[in-house]
């Protein structure tokens, strides 16, 4: 019997556990280590921050569903990973050994890298449901006492979609509250241009998002490096192509939400061969770590180099569907290793994104996510908002039911021509298990 441990129960880790259980059957052990026993649907956090969702509406207690699926849950979380020993030290002092480990922790949020930045200081966040609930309190105060708002993403950020989403969702919430006319808004981003998204754009995201910002009376600053945040003032340097400071800005704010840079979590950071200098997991084409072949990485915690050089550091996002393709490849590869075969599956890393704007939105498909692409498409309209709400309900249903990909989802993706795995080349000799 093999024991496979998944570290993290977010979007990737929870689905990973379900797919491993399906791929390995009941003859093998599947465990999940997580901080707590709840799954939270992070894409809904911008709605939580303006009161459109409650915590209860977007969270799932994993205890019962994992129990039904025969998945062990260790909610005390991990203190440190010891890959050479194939062991995890848990936060309560216990140890958990594994045959294979899938690291799906998501990121550590690097608020401390900028003075005065983060929900413990002078800005809000939608990266965690706790942060979003704190932002809701600040939003209520903004409605009572309107003033300047700043939304965006700082240097080193790699997840830009939620920043755009929250800017437009906040705009809609303020219009509903009849105070938008008293709230000047500025979008401040490390991207070299609006709609870059860490991907050098997808389709016409530059034109679409610039148009939306103009229509919603939101000014913007690109190539922005946040220097420090004071309680009522944001200090920003606008960086030129040669790296010099082109101009500086001191922007007043009464409410500010900017996405932080990410780094690897403390439990894995600094392990030679496992992580890069930023603490992200190094993986090969099969999601497998070259130095520790029993270890796989999926999701936001995986190291991906930037698309290209930019005046201000910009990371590459790992979107939901891209993560799910990593999950499916990893489940197949671990099942093959358990059977004595070699990994053969590679995720497509296709990106399918719905960015909600409160009453409209932008959708894009990038196949693959990293250019050059076979498909490079984007569109906007009110249908995107409806689709995003539907996706939220559907994905939470998947988590609650313990299913990773029902047959009708597979069918829909096939119809759209969106694949999770690259074509697998079958080598009959390599496929034979050792005698």
Which of helix, strand or coil describes residue 23? helix
The H-or-E segment that residue 168 falls in is: helix 161-176
Annotation marks residue 301 as catalytic? no
- Set 153, 353, 354, 363: catalytic member: 353
DSSP string over 56-113: HHHEEEHHHHHHHHTEEEETB-EEEEETTTTEEEETTS-EEE-SEEEE---PEE-GGG
Which segments within 142-279 are labelled E, that is strand? 149-153, 185-189, 218-221, 224-230, 233-239, 245-252, 255-259, 262-263
Q: Which two tokens stand for residue 435?
A: 């005698």
Q: Is 127 a residue of the active site?
A: no
Name residue 229's beta-bridge partners.
234
Reported as type and span, the H/E element at residue 323 is: helix 320-338
249's CB contacts (< 8 A; 6+ apart) are: 221, 224, 234, 235, 236, 237, 238
Location of structure tokens 């671990």: 334
- Token output for 29: 């052990």
Count CA atoms within 13 Å of residue 139 on its CB side.
Answer: 30
The Cα–Cα gap between 2 and 165 comes to 42
Dist CA 109 CA 118 (whole Å) = 9
Task: List all residues 6 or more positions away from 150 whose beta carbon is below 8 Å from its beta carbon.
Answer: 185, 186, 187, 188, 234, 251, 253, 255, 256, 257, 258
CA angle 383, 16, 74 (to 5 degrees): 120
Q: Which residue of the set 42, 78, 127, 159 is catalytic? A: 159
**Cβ count within 10 A of residue 384:** 21
Query: At 414, which helix (H) or strand (E)?
Result: helix 407-416
Q: Where in the sequence numbering do the catalytic residues fall?
A: 159, 353
């Amino acid at each position: 019997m093999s024991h496979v441990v998944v570290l993290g129960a977010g979007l990737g880790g929870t689905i990973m556990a379900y797919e491993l259980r399906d791929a390995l059957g009941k003859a093998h052990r599947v465990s999940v280590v997580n901080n707590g026993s709840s799954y939270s649907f992070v894409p809904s956090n911008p709605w939580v921050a303006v009161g459109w969702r409650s915590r209860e509406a977007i969270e799932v207690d994993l205890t019962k569903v994992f129990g039904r699926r025969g998945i062990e849950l260790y909610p005390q979380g991990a203190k440190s990973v010891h890959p050479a020993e194939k062991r995890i030290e848990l936060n309560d002092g216990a140890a958990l050994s594994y045959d294979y480990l899938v690291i799906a922790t998501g990121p550590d949020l690097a608020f401390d890298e900028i003075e005065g930045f983060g929900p413990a200081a002078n800005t809000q966040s939608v990266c965690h449901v706790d942060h979003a609930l704190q932002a809701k309190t600040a939003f209520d105060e903004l409605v009572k006492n309107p003033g300047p708002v700043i939304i965006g993403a700082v240097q080193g950020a790699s997840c830009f979609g939620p920043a755009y989403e929250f800017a437009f969702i906040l705009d809609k919430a303020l219009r509903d509250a009849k105070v938008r006319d008293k709230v000047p808004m500025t979008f401040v981003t490390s991207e070299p241009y609006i709609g870059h998204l860490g991907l050098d754009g997808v389709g016409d995201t530059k034109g679409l998002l610039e148009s939306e910002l103009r229509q919603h009376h939101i000014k913007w600053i690109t190539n922005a490096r946040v220097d420090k945040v004071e309680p009522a003032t944001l200090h920003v340097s606008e960086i030129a192509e040669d790296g010099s400071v082109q101009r500086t800005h001191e922007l007043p704010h009464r409410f500010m939400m900017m996405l932080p840079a990410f780094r690897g979590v403390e439990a894995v950071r600094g392990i030679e061969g496992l992580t890069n200098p930023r603490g992200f997991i190094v993986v090969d084409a099969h999601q497998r770590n070259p130095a520790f072949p029993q270890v796989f990485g999926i999701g936001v915690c995986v190291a991906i180099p930037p698309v290209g050089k930019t005046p201000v550091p910009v990371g590459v996002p790992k979107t939901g569907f891209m993560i799910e393709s990593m999950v499916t490849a990893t489940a197949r590869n671990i099942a093959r290793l358990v059977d004595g075969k070699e990994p053969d599956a590679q995720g497509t890393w296709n990106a399918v994104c719905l960015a909600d704007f409160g009453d409209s939105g932008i959708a894009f498909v990038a196949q693959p996510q990293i250019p050059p692409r076979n498909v490079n498409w984007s569109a906007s309209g009110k249908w995107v908002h409806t689709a995003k709400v539907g996706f939220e309900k559907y994905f939470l249903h998947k988590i609650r039911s313990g299913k990773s990909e029902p047959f009708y989802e597979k069918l829909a993706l096939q119809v759209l021509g969106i694949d999770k795995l690259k074509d697998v080349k079958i080598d009959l000799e390599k496929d034979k298990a050792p005698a």
